[in-house]
Chains A and B, each alone.
Chain A
Amino acid sequence: MSRVRGERQAGPAAERAARGLLARRLGLLAAAIALMVAGSRDIRALRADRETVVVSEALTRRVPLSTYFDGIRGTLMDTPVFLFDSGVPGGSVLILAGTHAYEPASPVMAYVVMENIAVTKGRVFVIPRANPSASRLGMLGNAYPPFFRVKTPWGEKRYRIGDRETHPLEQWPDPFTFVHYPSRQNLAYQDSRNMNRTFPGRPDGNLTERASYAVSELIRRERIDMTIDVHEASMGYPVVSTYVCHERAEDMCMMAAMVLSAEQFPMKTETSPKSLRGLTHREVGDYTQSFAVLMETPEPFIDKFVGPMTEELMLTGRDEFMQTAADRGLLYADYDIKTGATLDYRVGRHLAGAAEVIRQMGEFHPEKRIEASWPGYADIMKHGVGFYLHDPAKADARRVFVN
């Protein structure tokens, strides 16, 4: 018997068919929800993750970044700012880490500073996660591990690896072309979420621009003498193992690079090009009174031609493809697979690199001298990063913070 389209079948058979259809639909919906829940488990875990830091007794204040610009209050970009103030007049420095979250030696360097610093002159500000949103995103398409673990004398400490840009859950959609403010230079669309392309920031811009503006406001209002933006670079990038400095800071950087190269490890220096906009070493130098410095270490993990991007690679930097590239003269820094470029090496470089350029600021400008101490390159190479990270379970609870 044929039915007219849309005509309902009557009787018990029709009711059974309708119930079956509903059950199938509900089953499919449940399966989809189960898949969504399972599939988003890692995303939710990353967003909920908190890193622990046991700050040194030198901590004098911890404030949210929104203290300096209210426009990021209540967002994931409202990152904590830690101040270590000696109370003795001198210079001031901001260690800005995690601008690019997927360069992990940067926040780890900041944490080592925060856990071990002593200050007897001047003020040291530390932001260990400048872009907390980016630290809660996996590198899209690269099969990145979300975390890495550092061995310590008391167990393992876990940190997020993160991504380069702000999480799309915080800022979406991207524009077709990102127009940098205030230069109006056209940049790639994803740079609208790249914190090292959105400086000096703007109060009515997108979230990443507002966060950059908040950092710029901190620098201006606290009269920060030197801003050190801590990064890592791929070894196929010419600016690896380098200070990139605003022209007002170049003498200090050059001197620091020469001293480090002679005494500790190879270090180059480059002057920030005026035509490339949005980067801290350009915009912080142009739009604040601060000497702007950016530091890069060699980080094979973020090179494009390495093998599997594993936690092991992130920690050791040992990769056979990298060695092949080195053998063919394609890298901009020395590389030997036997030693790789370990997290210890990279963190040690940053600790010594920051210390030396701060010291040079005091040499060139005695009124801006800072007397602060933290573990140096030789210390880290001898004992490892984990040696300098403290056990939160045994620390004074007032010194334990989550980030």
Chain B
Amino acid sequence: MRHTRLVSLVAVTALMSFAASAAAAVSGAAPPKGQTPLLITNAGQGPGAKMARLLLQRTGAVSDFDYNAEPQPADLAAKPYKTLMVVLGSTAKGLGASGITIDDEIARLNAMMAEAKKLKLQIVCVLLEGKTRRGKPGGADERCIDAVAPFAHALVVKKDGNEDGRFDAIAKKTGAPLTFIDDAVDFGDVVKAMYAK
């Protein structure tokens, strides 16, 4: 019988081996060169942006960054941000926790993206949770993609979130480089590449 061991040494070894193998799990276009200060946010109030923040913190590659779950246009100008990282994904629990509807969220995103364009921020659009945060046309997840992805300067997508080729089509239309990750944890390597010195 093989038991699952909750031993720290094994854990560290597993994480290290995971990190080592993760390089092969990033494919497609090379990740864009990231700038700072960086603002991380989400589209749809899903957990993806917090996951991205967690992975980013663990890499130690960026220190000058902020996280804001619901930035308003004025928040984008509150600091001289250079890069806006928007992580896609909507959840009913997340929207409920924020006390807003998906219509409110889309209106906020439209205003935020307009301000980001005005401020000439680099926009990196991320689908960290893949097909988990894809849905039927017109659904909350798809509306979030519509609100952000066509305006992004770079796209980072978990591979199974592009099974229908939707992000291929957006990248082809906008010219944005499209980087794929096999698993969410591989995003740490994307961040390292973005902020390599």
Contacts and interface: CB of A to CB of B under 8 A. Distances in A.
A268 B50 CA distance: 13
A366 interface: yes
Contacts of A263: 18
A359 B93 contact: no
Contact of A271 (B97, B135, B136): B97
Contacts of A373: 3-6
Interface stretch (A10-18, A58-66, A248-256): A248-256
**Interface residue tally on B, bucketed by range:** 20 to 34
A362 B91 CA distance: 28
A358 B6 contact: yes
Nearest to B182: A262
Nearest to B158: A261
Contacts of A255: 54
A127 interface: no
A370 B136 CA distance: 42
B183 A372 contact: no
Contacts of A358: 6
Interface string B1-33: 111111110010001001000000000000000
A263 B25 CA distance: 13
B174 interface: no
Contact of B184 (A250, A261, A355): A261
Contacts of B138: none
A351 B4 contact: yes
Nearest to A376: B4
Contact of A258 (B3, B6, B92, B183): B183
A149 to B, nearest CB: 22
Contacts of B4: 351-352, 355, 373-377, 379
Nearest to A273: B97
A251 B185 contact: no
Interface in B143-197: 182-186
Contacts of A250: 47, 50
A276 B93 CA distance: 9
Nearest to B92: A238
Given A244-B93, A271-B97, A275-B96, A262 B185 contact: yes
A259 interface: yes
Given A262-B185, A270-B93, A371 B47 contact: no
A362 B94 contact: no
B132 interface: yes
A266 B18 contact: no
Contacts of B54: 251, 254-255
A308 interface: no
Contact of B93 (A251, A271, A378): A271
B105 interface: no
Given A270-B94, A358-B6, 4 more contacts: A238-B91, A251-B50, A272-B97, A374-B4
Counting from the closest, the 3 A-B pairs by CB-CB distance are A376-B4, A262-B183, A373-B3
20 contacts: A116-B1, A244-B93, A254-B50, A262-B185, A268-B47, A268-B132, A269-B47, A271-B50, A275-B99, A329-B136, A363-B8, A363-B15, A369-B6, A370-B6, A371-B5, A373-B6, A375-B2, A376-B3, A378-B2, A379-B3
Interface of B: 1-8, 11, 15, 18, 47, 50-51, 54-55, 91-94, 96-97, 99, 129, 132, 135-136, 182-186
Interface of A: 116, 118, 238-239, 244, 250-251, 254-255, 257-259, 261-263, 266, 268-276, 329, 351-352, 355, 358-359, 362-363, 366, 369-379, 383, 388
